[in-house]
């Protein structure tokens, strides 16, 4: 392998931390467990984006925060420099194609993320947005699972993690990318950032170091130093979209809502045991009546019947949407770990799987295996405005299920499993994730979380009143003036309640 200093001699000073100008720079979105947990999602597989070679900068340089922007964030990373070409290399051989390891800073401008839609072309492709260096470490001399990454801002340690904590080993990234295109000598793979990334402002000095504390001589990249400056130039709205930020971008750029100076997110609605017990006692007809009094008429899931009429379902919605079958879309979305399987694997205790099948009952929308999975996960029930396959076997699982009926055909005859955890249309009503779903023999009703306590209390109060009225009718009283109660009967009822 050629000495890196010899290769870099006479090169553009921007690339002094590399063997030369890289042909391509490939970066990963999420790779460290700490960062993934901070973002609230752990990807099943790595995903990537490209950065231009013109974004590379050497240690000791500056990065401009463009005029009119506020959310320039640092991301200390381990950079891999390809030493020999890699094309369709197996995992066991992938590390042999890495020539060097060094430090990098994958700066990003969150003000431009909204219209990049994951490509990061503008938000991470600016000149100077990829400092790399200072020194190259021989990949043969280090253990790829034992590298340490640290980042300082103005001398304060902000990131401190190791490659042992990565979701995807470094060699896997090389092997995976080589499935799709040739990694050529000098190409750079940016391997992601751990938790601790945050916003920097003009005047801040960011330093990144990669070392191998357990290797002989504890080799280190040295400190990669970048100073943030204020740029004079902004962006022309006549040429393209302008920077824009919202609280979500601020929270992600700073690392948390608290760090961004934002109020905490409101706690998500949860059904308490007491509230769940009330809903189990209240009839769906009564809940529907109370919702109607509050102006909500389109909250019943029409056309579905319970497979277990004596069972009641109470829970919060976990949604799944099917679209009409189209062969090419089923080929891309119907197989493997599709949206349907993901929902049944993720449904939580006390949740109800609500499926949008467009009222199409010409195929099954689930069978006994998925019903078993839902029961094992502690789901409260399933509501689908389509058919059920393996009807008797699903019934034997014992989980409350509401459906249009039985059908022997598999899902793909009519449906493509498309997406999960979105607003769906089930039986003519809109159901959002987290809505409260209650079903009995009369049918299924959907209650907005903000109204659930008020509605169930009113429904139970009405039930008590109706029960008293029924007693009077049994005793021989006529319904005129009693149902609904006039002032005289109301006074008698209130007196009865007071005595109790």
- Establish how many alpha carbons lie within 13 A of residue 328's alpha carbon, considering only the half-sphere containing its beta carbon: 0
Number of residues written out for the chain: 500
CA atoms of 79 and 208, how far apart (whole Å): 11
Averaged pLDDT, 136-162 = 97
pLDDT tens profile 195-215: 999 999 999 999 999 999 989
Q: Is the pLDDT of residue 451 over 70?
A: yes
pLDDT tens profile 471-490: 999 999 999 999 989 999 99
Contact 18, 186 (CB under 8 A): yes
Q: Which CATH superfamily hosts domain 4-254?
A: Fumarylacetoacetase-like, C-terminal domain (3.90.850.10)
List residues forming the annotated binding site for substrate.
367-370, 389
Q: Nearest to residue 437, comparing CAs of 305, 300, 342?
A: 300
Q: Nearest to residue 427, comparing CAs of 409, 441, 445, 451?
A: 445
Q: Is the pLDDT of residue 241 over 90?
A: no
SS3 call for 265: coil
Give the pLDDT band (50/70/90) at residue 1. very low
Q: Is the pLDDT of residue 188 over 80?
A: yes
Domain positions in the chain:
4-254, 298-447
pLDDT tens profile 323-375: 999 999 999 999 888 999 999 999 999 999 999 999 999 999 999 999 999 99
CA atoms of 59 and 132, how far apart (whole Å): 7
Give the pLDDT band (50/70/90) at residue 11. low
Fold of 298-447: Glucose Oxidase; domain 1 (3.50.30)
Q: Nearest to residue 19, comparing CAs of 33, 38, 3, 34?
A: 3
User: What residues contact residue 305 under an 8 Å CB cut-off, 6+ apart?
Assistant: 402, 403, 404, 405, 443
Phi, psi (degrees; rounded to nearest 5) at 188? -120, 135
Q: At what angle do helices 273-281 and 452-474 cross, to 10 degrees?
A: 40
pTM higher than 0.85, yes or no? no
Burial class (CB in 10 A: 0-12, 13-18, 19+), 207: buried
Q: Is the pLDDT of residue 3 over 80?
A: no
Q: Which helix (H) or strand (E) holds 480?
A: none
List residues forming the annotated binding site for Mg(2+).
390
| CB neighbourhood size of 151 (10 A) | 26
Give the pLDDT band (50/70/90) at residue 497. confident
pLDDT tens profile 27-36: 999 999 999 9
- Bridge-based pairing of strands 313-324 and 415-420 is antiparallel
List residues forming the annotated binding site.
367-370, 389-390
Q: Is the pLDDT of residue 222 over 90?
A: yes
CA-to-CA dists, residue 155 to 159, 187, 202, 225, 442, angstroms? 12, 31, 15, 11, 66
Q: Is the pLDDT of residue 8 over 60?
A: no
């Amino acid at each position: 392998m050629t000495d890196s200093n010899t290769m870099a001699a006479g090169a553009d000073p921007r690339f002094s931390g590399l063997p030369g100008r890289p042909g391509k720079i490939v970066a990963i979105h999420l790779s460290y467990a700490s960062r993934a947990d901070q973002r609230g999602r752990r990807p099943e597989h790595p995903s990537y984006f490209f950065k231009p070679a013109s974004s590379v900068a050497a240690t000791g340089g500056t990065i401009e925060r463009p005029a009119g922007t506020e959310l320039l964030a640092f991301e200390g990373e381990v950079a891999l420099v390809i030493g020999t070409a890699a094309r369709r290399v197996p995992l066991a051989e992938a590390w042999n194609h890495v020539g060097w390891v060094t430090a990098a800073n994958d700066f990003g401008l969150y003000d431009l993320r909204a219209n990049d839609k994951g490509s990061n072309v503008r938000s991470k492709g600016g000149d100077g947005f990829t400092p790399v260096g200072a020194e190259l470490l021989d990949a043969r001399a280090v253990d790829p699972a034992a590298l340490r990454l640290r980042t300082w801002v103005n001398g304060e340690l902000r990131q401190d993690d190791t490659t042992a904590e990565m979701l995807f080993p470094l060699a896997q990234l090389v092997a995976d990318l080589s499935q799709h295109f040739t990694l050529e000598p000098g190409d750079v793979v940016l391997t992601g950032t751990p938790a601790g990334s945050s916003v920097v402002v003009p005047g801040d000095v960011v330093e990144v170091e990669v070392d191998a504390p357990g290797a002989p001589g504890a080799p280190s990249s040295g400190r990669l130093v970048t100073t943030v400056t204020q740029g004079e130039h902004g962006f022309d709205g006549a040429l393209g979209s302008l920077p824009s930020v919202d609280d979500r971008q601020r929270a992600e750029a700073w690392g948390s809502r608290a760090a961004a100076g934002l109020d905490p997110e409101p706690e998500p609605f949860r059904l308490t045991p007491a509230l769940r017990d009330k809903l189990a006692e209240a009839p769906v007809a009564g809940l529907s009546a109370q919702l109607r009094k509050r102006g909500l008429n389109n909250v019943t899931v029409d056309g579905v019947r319970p497979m277990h009429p004596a069972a009641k379902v109470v829970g919060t919605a976990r949604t799944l949407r099917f679209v009409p079958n189209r062969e090419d879309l089923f080929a891309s979305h119907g197989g493997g770990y599709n949206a349907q399987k993901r929902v049944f694997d993720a449904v939580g205790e006390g949740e109800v799987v609500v499926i949008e099948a467009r009222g199409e009952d010409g195929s099954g929308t689930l069978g006994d295996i998925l019903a078993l999975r839902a029961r094992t996960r502690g789901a409260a029930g399933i509501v689908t405005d389509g058919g059920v396959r393996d009807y008797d076997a699903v019934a034997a699982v014992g989980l409350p299920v509401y459906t249009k009926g039985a059908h022997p055909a598999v899902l793909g005859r009519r449906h493509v499993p498309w997406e999960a955890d979105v607003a769906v249309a089930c039986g003519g009503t809109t159901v959002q994730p987290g809505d409260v779903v209650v079903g009995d023999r009369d049918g299924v009703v959907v209650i907005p979380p903000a109204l659930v306590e008020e509605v169930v209390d009113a429904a139970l109060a009405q039930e008590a009143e109706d029960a008293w009225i029924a007693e009077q009718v049994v005793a021989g009283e006529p319904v005129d003036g009693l149902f609904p109660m006039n002032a005289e009967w109301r006074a008698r009822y209130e007196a009865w309640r007071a005595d109790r």
